[in-house]
Structure 1
Amino acid sequence: MFLCNRVLQAPQISSMNSSSYGYNVSSVQSQRDSYSTAVAKNVIVLALGLTINYINGTLIHTFRKHQIFYVNPRYILFIHLVVNDMIQLTTTISLFVSSYIFYKINVSLCCFIVTLAVFTTLNTPLNLAVMAVECYIAICLPLRHAKLCTIKRTYILIGCIWAMSAVSTLPDVFIIFATEPVQFFYSKIFCDKNTMFRHPIHLKKRDVSYIIYLVGVWLILFYTYIRIFLAAKDAKAAKSPDGNANKTRNTILLHGFQLLLCMLTYVSPVFNKTLFYWFPKHYLHLIFISYIIIQISPRFVSPIVYGIRDKTFRQHLKKYLLCAARASIKPWTAAKLMLLY
């Protein structure tokens, strides 16, 4: 799930990763990032993470400051997705940086961070499915939208999203407690999902849960997109000036693209294995690019869906994004006025 093996120092870690991904990494054990390369990679990751979290934090601030947003179920679901992205991005970047600084961390701390990351990873497709259903109701069942999509029901749905993720994730933690000795939780390991949840039962359960989740979400997205597409087609045939159906259809397409990016997380072991076979000499650099594409790039999509495309949100977002620049100008202006007097 996370970037691994950029500095292959410990044989025991290498053996765990090879058993997890199904290939032998002994040929790349001698590969290590130079000091400048390691610094460059960490700077890139931190810069991207801080930029995305700054934009997402501004979105949350905008949401809280204006009633038009926090009384709208659509924006509530969107902000939940943004918060979820921030948590996931923070956990994955923390593991990335710690792998360079500490390499190994305490198992208990690793278990907490990885569990939180898995929670948020599973939340994303479920949240996208719920947002697609809300768009479908708004376009295809407009007279029932106010009754079906209430604020209370929206927060209940968010609770259900976390509950469904818990049903899939918490059993992994219970399996660790049941199968690992007590000393294991006081030891240190290279923190990665595949080294943390390494029991064969984990792998079988993970594959089944991923298939169920993704098939269900894709069916919902396809159904809602087709229904909204037909509604947009009918509106065009009737020469209706309302472009909400077309805009909502494009939003569903963005949800599908975002879900496609999220699916890369589930196929990352196979993808990394393929990279190793094709480019063993450049594996460390390619695995870093893989991390950027799989873990960070999907977080760019969420601000685009409503933060930039939505006219109302965009107007307020510009004001708050530029507030730092204005704040830095005001003290200089005040100082000049004091000098004049």
Structure 2
Amino acid sequence: MSFVSQPRSNISIQLDDVGLLERMTTFALSTIPCCLFLFINGTILFTLRSKSVFRDTCRYILLFNLLLADTAQLAICQVLFLLSVCRITLTYPVCGMLTGCASITSVTSPLTLMVMSLERCVAVCFPLRHAMIVTIKNTRLAIVAVWTSSSLHNIFRVILLLDFPFKDLDSLQMTNLCNEFNMLLGSRSKVYDNAFTGFLFASAAIVVISSYVGVIIAARSASTGKASALKARNTLMLHLVQLCLSLSSTIYNTLLVAIMKIIQSVGFMRLNKFLYVLIILFPRCLSSLIYGLRDQTIRPILLGHLGCHQKLKTVAVSG
């Protein structure tokens, strides 16, 4: 018996070591780029508040709101992911608070992209009335409306969640890992979440595509600056791509459920980590790359805050 049990114990120890090594690797490969982009996003947010040209320009105010939502969601999603990697379960109230914050920011991003698309459309299609329509006051009101809509959506989710008979549970400790899918308790919550996701995706797509078509039509007009229209068209195309990537996170849970029925547990856990990086982490990192490096006004100030200019000066002096 001892000769049989000894190899089995060795195998179990090796499997535990492999599992620990894999979790540590996953932890490092997801946390390092996440921290890097959180630092870059934080630097861009500081940059957008450091100059009056950014604080007093409507499109930079909207950009600040977009980056703020993406940064908050990136941080929350990374916390939830690391909890799942470490297989740590939470109580329903704590998990509900984390997923609620993630839900608010996930809705805020596409709504802000809709407002940014409309702002670019007005700038090209109605250049003479742009200053009257897109004012600092109206921009701030639009941002308040965006966050209010996101908050109302989350409040409605909480109301549906309260219908679940928590009193029948032995404990508020969750048996499953904390994520938005496991917090959809009850059929009505799932139906509402699917309906809202579909409505949000359709509305955002219609607004961005309509703005894109409007800019193309205006570009063909002799009264519209060709260079300005071309730049706005490229910006709206980036908005559309970013919108698709941003809303791809809404199908994350549904995709996992479908994959779970096909792939075994070990393969599923590994695929889940890959999909997290591809669908959740990667789109949240695009905002800083698209806007921080593409914008000619932000880029030199951003590089200066990151210390790149100082390093270049040091290299030049030493050379």
Residue 230 of structure 2 is matched in structure 1 by 246
Overall identity of the aligned pairs, in %: 25
Aligned-CA RMSD value: 2.7
Q: Tell me if 1:159 matches 2:141.
A: no
Please name the residue that 2:164 is paired with: 179
Q: Give the residue type in structure 2 aligned to 1:134.
A: E
Letter of the structure 1 residue corresponding to residue 286 of structure 2: V
Q: TM-score, length-normalised on structure 2?
A: 0.85
Q: 2:207 aligns with which of 217, 220, 226?
A: 220
Deviations 1:264-319 (A, max 9, x none): 22222342244445553622221111111111111122113321111011111110
- One-letter amino acid of the structure 1 residue matched with residue 26 of structure 2: K
Larger displacement relative to structure 2 (253-262 or 279-288): 279-288
1:294 is matched with which residue: 279, 283, 305?
279
The answer to whether the aligner puts 1:115 opposite 2:130 as a matched pair is no
Query: Residue 304 and residue 183 in structure 1: after superposition, are their counterparts in 2 closer, same or farther (change >3 A)?
Result: same
For 1:105, what is the secondary structure of its paired residue?
coil
Q: 1:225 to 1:268 in 2, by over 3 A?
A: same
- Cα deviation, 1:192-239, whole Å, max 9, x if unaligned, reads 11212221110111111112111111111111001111222335xx8x
- Distance in 1 (CA, whole Å) between partners of 2:287 and 2:47 is 15
From the superposition, tell whether residues 227 and 159 of structure 1 become closer, same or farther in structure 2 (CA, over 3 Å).
Answer: same
| Amino acid in structure 2 at the alignment position of 1:145 | H
TM superposition shift of 1:261: 1.0
Residue 192 of structure 2 is aligned to residue 208 of structure 1: no
Question: Runs of 5+ in structure 1 lacking a partner?
Answer: 1-29, 334-341
Does structure 1 residue 55 correspond to structure 2 residue 40? Answer: yes
CA contact (8 A) 2:304 2:310 kept: no
| Structure 1, 86-95 or 189-198: larger mean CA deviation | 189-198
**Normalising by structure 1, what TM-score?**
0.80
Tell me whether 1:43 sits opposite 2:39 in the alignment: no
Q: Quote the residue 1:269 is aligned against.
A: 253
| 1:91 and 2:91 matched | no
Return the match for 1:258 from 242, 260, 281: 242
CA positional deviation for 1:33: 6.6
Query: Structure 1 residues 277, 32: CA separation in 2 closer, same or farther (over 3 Å shift)?
Result: farther
Question: How many angstroms apart in 1 are the aligned matches of 2:17 and 2:191?
Answer: 33
The answer to whether the 8 Å contact 2:58/2:136 transfers is: yes
Mapped partners of 1:102, 1:178: distance in 2: 28
Task: List runs of 5+ in structure 2 lacking aligned partners.
Answer: 1-14
CA distance in 2, matches of 1:188, 1:100: 18
Q: 1:155-201: per-residue Cα shift (whole Å, max 9, x none)?
A: 11111111111222211112223433357596222211121222111
Distance 2:294 2:147 in 1: 27
